[in-house]
A and B are shown apart, each in its own frame.
Chain A
Amino acid sequence: MPVIAPLPAREPAVGVSVPGSTTEATDDAMAEGTTIDFLTETYRAHYRSLLGLAALLLDDTASCEDVVQEAFIRVHSARGRVRDPEKTLAYLRQTVVNLSRSTLRRRILGMKLLSKPLPNMASAEEGAYEQLERADLIKAMRGLQRRQREVLVLRYFADMTEAEVARTLGISAGSVKAYGSRGIAALRVAMEAAR
């Protein structure tokens, strides 16, 4: 009879107890596997666009990756919030918006620095962020009020409807309109000044 799992070399006689533990291990692996697959899926579908979202919302583009990572971790570690793909994206965006508010972000980054060194980014990625830093649009965006900026980004980058933006930011639809139009106007001024 074929033995499925390699037995500990020293104790061939304990075969009795081995199957049990092997099965458990397999079950664990499978349970783990399902969540990981979901994580991978969301990662593929949304990670890049969230990176963009963070880059547009943040003052320092260097922490984009951290913010998006943190958002992923938060959303995925809250079991049950991640079942519906549509909702997952909404949660992720919401979290990125929350995290992009500076005080909060500083806090989590502080925590992160304590617990784990930041990954050293590959040079190619650094390059992309450096270029981003130099982009006129980004500079102009930094001149906007935070709310204006958030509305513009959610509305036109994340393609949310006004109602969604309102919900995400916790403001009224009327405010979304107002911030949006003033934001566009301000952006236009800033862009022209930059040229």
Chain B
Amino acid sequence: MTHGPAGPNGPEEPGEARRTGPAGAGDEASSAPPAAESAESGGCAAANSPAEPGEGTVVPFPFGRNGRPAEPAAGGDGVGVGEGVGDGVGDGVGDGEAEIRQLFQDVVGGLEPSAQALEQLREAVPMRRRRRRRVWLGAAASVALFGVGAPVVMSAAEHVGGGGGQATLDAGAERTAGGEPAGGGDAGEEGSHPAGGDTEAPGRPGDGAEADGEPPAAGDEEGTATTRDNSEMSLSSPVCARTQLGEARTTTESPDAEGRVYGSIRLVNVSDSPCRVSGNGELAALPVGMASVDAIQIVDRTEGDRAERLPTPDETHEELVLPPGEAYEVQFAWVPSGAAVGSCDVATEPAGSGGPSPNLERGEPVTEEPTATGGQGPDGVSGEDGGGGATGESGTGGETTSGAGGGETGGESPGTGASGETGGDGTSGGETPGSTVGGDGVDGATDGVVLRYTPEAGQPEAAQIMLEGSCSGTIYRTGVLQAPTE
């Protein structure tokens, strides 16, 4: 292998090199390794009792000194070395092979894997897989973007000099949309090529079970990647502004046997350019009505804590680049303290109906779409997604805000404050008023605690989770996670 690639591409190197390698190597390998194995185990076994490497090396170093004939074990190759190199060294070399083998075996024979080696591998391998997949998806997205973007630019350029404005536009449009052979065809190739490199392997027979995650996701990626901003998306991406994050969604699962409730808060990059999520954001607990938050702790997820099913801290990202339309999530777990199991319900919205959330009672996962589609309305940036947003821009926003302010316990109610500010989101159109107004109901009917999530980018908060009743326990939260693609 050349030195250059070996550096940066270390991880890939073996695979690429071996694509031809093992096929050839296989022949020899099939015969060689058994020999190697026995030699090794022999070496280890021998070395284990005298295990001291020191002793091993005390053995005289006899290459060629004894003038013994080359040993059969050294085989044809040994002789080959000798002959090829020349007489002076040759005889000695062929002769020394057995000894050098033995020396090597002896000196490292005492090495034992550390006790936790296998355990660590078991953890690390799946983790790396996930990371690889993310990296790979990012690369695929870049390539796809580039593939789509380049022809568009080129065809546009081509036509700029061409002639009348109208005609130019039309031609350009057709090209992009139709994926005309010249541009589109190439793009397709480019897009799939690098992907093929990696997918090929997973696609091999017998891999079906594991491989499934990647290819579909890749396809997805290419499909959605219709914007132009290309390959440089990773590090150069600006930090996500609050207005770029929207379509907030919270989900919770039904309580498990110990009353633990797992859930997640998901935020999408609703802008049309990639941005970087930096920092975990804030998850805070605020009292509603008569409740107090004293009995509720919010802690970061650590390994070995009671929120077993949350991803471990090393799966979280300090920085995560979100291509347009991709989402990140923060997961959490509500772990009630022993006595409180069952005395507290978890709802992902400020219970619209005023009473305890019926969904939760039934133990179904609750998915709430539109709580806060942060700021896309007010900003007016996201034309695509905010079809409704535009309309809701000031009208709805105004309404909800006032409604919230009115129904509230004094200005800073977490629940409604949020809806008010983000109320500009038009996608929630029909529903928002219902659930937002419900904010009043909450305060009227129940006491509890609202968990409020605010992205690092700042106000307004993106999501709330209502804990109703007398709650005491701990919220474990993760940092920023890559949300699964949908």
Contact = CB atoms under 8 A, between A and B. Distances in A.
B154 interface: no
A109 interface: no
Interface in A61-88: 64-65, 69, 72-81, 83-84, 86-87
Dominant secondary structure of chain A at its interface with chain B: helix
Nearest to B22: A87
Contact of A95 (B14, B56, B61, B105): B14
Nearest to A115: B314
A94 to B, nearest CB: 4
Interface stretch (B143-151, B203-211, B263-271, B424-432): B203-211
B363 A78 contact: no
B104 A56 contact: yes
B153 interface: no
Nearest to B100: A156
Contacts of A103: 7
Interface stretch (B23-31, B376-384, B393-401): B23-31
Interface string A1-31: 0000011111100100100000000000001
A110 interface: no
A125 B110 CA distance: 9
Interface in B328-383: 341-342, 362-364
B360 to A, nearest CB: 10
Contacts of B363: 8, 11, 14, 17
A163 interface: yes
B80 interface: yes
A22 to B, nearest CB: 12
B240 to A, nearest CB: 23
B111 to A, nearest CB: 5
Nearest to A35: B210
Which of A84, A137, A160, A167 has the most C-beta atoms of chain B within 10 angstroms of its own C-beta? A137
B81 A180 contact: yes
Interface in B1-32: 1-2, 6-7, 10-11, 13-15, 17-18, 21-22, 24-26, 28-30, 32
A124 B204 CA distance: 42
B56 A137 contact: yes
B209 A31 contact: yes
A81 B15 contact: yes
B404 interface: no
Interface in A126-152: 128-129, 131-132, 134-138, 152
A108 B113 CA distance: 20
B90 to A, nearest CB: 8
Contact of A90 (B21, B52, B53, B132): B21
A174 B110 CA distance: 34
Interface residues of A, number: 94
B89 A185 contact: yes
Contact of A184 (B40, B52, B96, B105): B96
Given A121-B114, A181-B89, A184-B93, A94 B36 contact: no
Given A79-B129, A134-B54, A89 B117 contact: no
A84 B341 CA distance: 50
A72 B207 CA distance: 19
Interface in B232-263: 254-257, 259
B234 to A, nearest CB: 17
B53 A161 contact: no
Contact of A8 (B82, B90, B114, B256): B256
A157 B32 contact: no
Contacts of A89: 29, 33
A51 B113 contact: yes
A81 B200 CA distance: 10
Given A32-B126, A55-B111, A159-B32, A101 B103 contact: no
A181 B340 CA distance: 75
Contacts of B341: 10
Contacts of A119: 114, 116, 120
Contacts of B97: 156
Contacts of A17: 254, 363-364
A163 B363 CA distance: 63
Nearest to A49: B40
Contacts of B210: 31, 35, 79
B157 interface: no
20 contacts: A14-B363, A17-B363, A32-B126, A35-B125, A36-B122, A48-B112, A51-B112, A52-B40, A65-B117, A69-B124, A80-B200, A83-B204, A91-B22, A94-B17, A95-B10, A137-B104, A157-B108, A177-B81, A181-B82, A184-B100
Interface of A: 6-11, 14, 17, 31-32, 34-36, 39-40, 43, 47-49, 51-52, 55-56, 64-65, 69, 72-81, 83-84, 86-87, 89-91, 94-95, 98-99, 101, 103-104, 108, 115-116, 119, 121-122, 124-125, 128-129, 131-132, 134-138, 152-153, 156-164, 167-170, 174, 177-178, 180-181, 184-185, 187-188, 191-192, 195
Given A79-B211, A160-B28, A188-B96, 13 more contacts: A8-B363, A10-B257, A72-B121, A73-B125, A74-B11, A77-B132, A80-B211, A91-B22, A94-B21, A119-B120, A128-B111, A131-B53, A160-B32
